[in-house]
Amino acid sequence: MISRDRRLTYGDVDAESARVASLLVEHGTTKGTLVGVVMDKGWEQVVGSLGVLRSGGAYVPVDPRWPAQRLAEVIAAAGLETILTQPALRDVVDWPDGVTVLDVEAPSPVENAAVHTAPDVPVTPRDVAYVIYTSGSTGVPKGVVIEHGPVVNTILDVNDELSLSADDRVLGLSALNFDLSVYDIFGPLSAGGAVVLPGPEDAREPASWLALMAEESVTVWNSVPALMAMVCEHLASSEDTGPRSPGAPSSLRAVLMSGDWIPVALPDEIRRFFPRAALWSLGGATEASIWSIWHRIVPEDATLPSIPYGTSMRNQKVFVADSLLRPRPTWVVGEICIAGAGLAREYLGDTEKTAKSFTVSPSTGERVYRTGDWGRLLPGGEIEFLGRDDMQVKVGGYRIELGDVEAALLRCPGVTGAVVTAPGDRNRKRLVAHVVLEEGAGRTGADVRKAAEEFLPPYMLPSLVTVWDALPLTANGKVDRASLARHEEEPDPEDENARPDTEEEQVLLSLWKDFFETSSLSVLDNFFELGGDSLRAVRLMAVVRKELNVSLPVSTLFSAPTIRSLAGRVQESRAAA
């Protein structure tokens, strides 16, 4: 295992995960116990998760950067009594009362000399391996319970397809609480390969990813499409702005993309920079052990309206069904359903949601997960993915229930009504909130968005919050979501008067006008609230490097998202040069 600050052999991982397992048993972990893993990206996540499994427990990954309220709700919902963390987070996270927090850290010389033997706990395919929480429609996240057998089935299938071996190195970009991380860790470790982890500070830095990939000879990439698009955008921009950044490593031989729409033009861009890499589109659901369906992307796919969803993976069955779970004929639209070896056991502690989503086919008697996604069977046997028509959306690869965001907004002071929409095309959606306030509340949309940070992680925060006197209704009295999606917020008079004061602000304002179709821009406008995303951020920072002759990491834009604040960073960089 390779990270920025440590390199661990298999012997190291064995010894250190055994030590964690022994520590957990000392604190009461037994077979089936759920143990929280609240950590930033790092080697500790791998050692900690393995330690939980070796103790007989199941790990529950939780993002330490979630708002305290949401973190506490998930910990309570999972019934966690023991949590593994990193020493640097112990005094940073607001831990709920009554929880035992244990550190995973590099052993001291004395501890290194000690021999720890992991407890001998027999584990079966039906035992729980992990619980991952996803967005819930009522504002309470859903805990998806995955057993060992189903996820091992997925991992071994992918390893066989890739012919994964001890020579492979997989780049682990995904957060631990996103199920792509399950393959990032256990795919290579089950084949004698290595998992390569970037540092938490590299979360939005394609240049850092490329440098790490080249340094460690990464062979397999696994992420949502947007992250690979960021890499291609960075490489393309570097061609235009000069060779200041690392190029595409020649070691990459496989690219796996899932979790969101793959832009039809993206595979050709990937082949341009990584000509040796074979490309796969994968799909499925957290409720079906990472992936259930896949498609080997070929150059001819560029002529299609969308990249095919594909065909079922080993021991799994993905099909298009009608309301009675009967397979639909070719070309007929229906709901995409999943059966077979990959299905989750349940939603933790929620029998009603479990029964609604996991049903039994009246014709075959098999257990079926209803994804809520729509598609159709193509003549060649592959499925075409067509999207959703309910309140669940994908934004930046994250599955988000709009009702979850609305429930959080209604918890903000003064908010009496809230509706969230997701305008944009399939490849570039953003969340926009529309709220009604108590009379005399005296709050702006920006105030409400700030208040929502207490309840929502960053990827679920609306990029824009608009205040209405009353929400528009359709003829039958329902909220007119189509009208809301078309609505544009009136410009803030204060922002309208914010004009450039410096040369840097003037140049940046000119650059931003090429990125956004809007009637007016000010130096106080927020890049992301205007609809900017990670891909545009990479593109903008490349142009900034070219036009202002200053090299700033992409993360600068996330911490300084207005023209005024970004111009200040440009000035600071020039002064320090």
What pLDDT was estimated at residue 290?
97
The reply to whether 410 and 518 lie within a common domain is: no
Burial of 14 (0-12, 13-18, 19+ CB in 10 A): middle
Low-confidence stretches of the chain (pLDDT beneath 50): 243, 488-497
The reply to whether 475 and 560 lie within a common domain is: no
What pLDDT was estimated at residue 522?
83
Reduced 3-state DSSP string for 132-197: EEECCCCCCCEEEEEEHHHHHHHHHHHHHHHCCCCCCEEECCCCCCCCHHHHHHHHHHCCCCEEEC
Specify which residues 447 forms β-bridges with: none
What pLDDT was estimated at residue 496?
47
Coarse DSSP helix, strand, coil percentages of the chain, rounded to the nearest 5 percent: 35, 25, 40
The distance from CA 214 to its chain's CA centroid, rounded to whole angstroms, is 24
The reply to whether 61 and 118 lie within a common domain is: yes
Q: What is the CB-side half-sphere exposure of residue 570 using CA atoms within 13 A?
A: 24
Q: What is the CB-side half-sphere exposure of residue 326 using CA atoms within 13 A?
A: 4
3-state secondary structure of 541: helix
Does a structural domain hold residue 408? Answer: yes
The reply to whether 424 and 459 lie within a common domain is: yes
Specify which residues 58 forms β-bridges with: 34
The distance from CA 334 to its chain's CA centroid, rounded to whole angstroms, is 27
Does a structural domain hold residue 138? Answer: no
Q: In one letter, which amino acid is 163? A: S
The reply to whether 4 and 115 lie within a common domain is: yes
Rounded Cα–Cα distance for residues 35 and 435 (Å): 38
Burial of 166 (0-12, 13-18, 19+ CB in 10 A): exposed
Domain boundary among the residues 437, 470, 487 is at: 487
Q: In one letter, which amino acid is 462? A: P
Rounded Cα–Cα distance for residues 392 and 456 (Å): 16
Does a structural domain hold residue 398? Answer: yes
CATH number at residue 558: 1.10.1200.10
Domain boundary among the residues 123, 146, 165 is at: 123
Q: Across the chain, which distance is largest between two alpha carbons, in Å?
A: 75
Does a structural domain hold residue 321? Answer: no
The reply to whether 528 and 569 lie within a common domain is: yes
Domain boundary among the residues 487, 522, 544 is at: 487
Cβ density class 178-200: b for 16+ within 10 Å, e for less: bbbbbbbbbbbbebebbbbbbeb
> 331 Cβ partners below 8 Å, 6+ apart?
376, 377, 378, 379
Rounded Cα–Cα distance for residues 2 and 221 (Å): 15
CATH number at residue 450: 3.30.300.30
Residue from 29, 33, 70, 63 nearest 45 by CA: 63
3-state secondary structure of 467: strand
Does a structural domain hold residue 59? Answer: yes
The reply to whether 49 and 86 lie within a common domain is: yes
Residue from 141, 136, 140, 139 nearest 407 by CA: 139
Rounded Cα–Cα distance for residues 416 and 386 (Å): 34
The reply to whether 95 and 8 lie within a common domain is: yes
What pLDDT was estimated at residue 489?
47
Burial of 117 (0-12, 13-18, 19+ CB in 10 A): exposed
What pLDDT was estimated at residue 278?
98
Cβ density class 224-237: b for 16+ within 10 Å, e for less: bbbbbbbbbbbbbb
Does a structural domain hold residue 481? Answer: yes
Q: Strands across the sheet with 220-223, in order? A: 194-196, 169-171, 220-223, 254-257, 278-283, 293-297, 311-312
What pLDDT was estimated at residue 475?
61
The reply to whether 473 and 544 lie within a common domain is: no
3-state secondary structure of 506: helix
Rounded Cα–Cα distance for residues 336 and 370 (Å): 7
Does a structural domain hold residue 505? Answer: yes
Rounded Cα–Cα distance for residues 14 and 17 (Å): 5
Structural domain span for residue 48: 1-123
Contact 335, 370 (CB under 8 A): yes
Q: Please report where in the chains the tokens 């006008």 appear, as a residue.
A: 513
What pLDDT was estimated at residue 495?
47
The reply to whether 483 and 526 lie within a common domain is: no
Does a structural domain hold residue 404? Answer: yes
Contact 189, 182 (CB under 8 A): no
CATH number at residue 73: 3.40.50.980
The reply to whether 504 and 555 lie within a common domain is: yes
The reply to whether 461 and 499 lie within a common domain is: no
What pLDDT was estimated at residue 394?
79
Our count of domains for the chain comes to 3
- Considering the entire predicted model, what is its pTM? 0.85
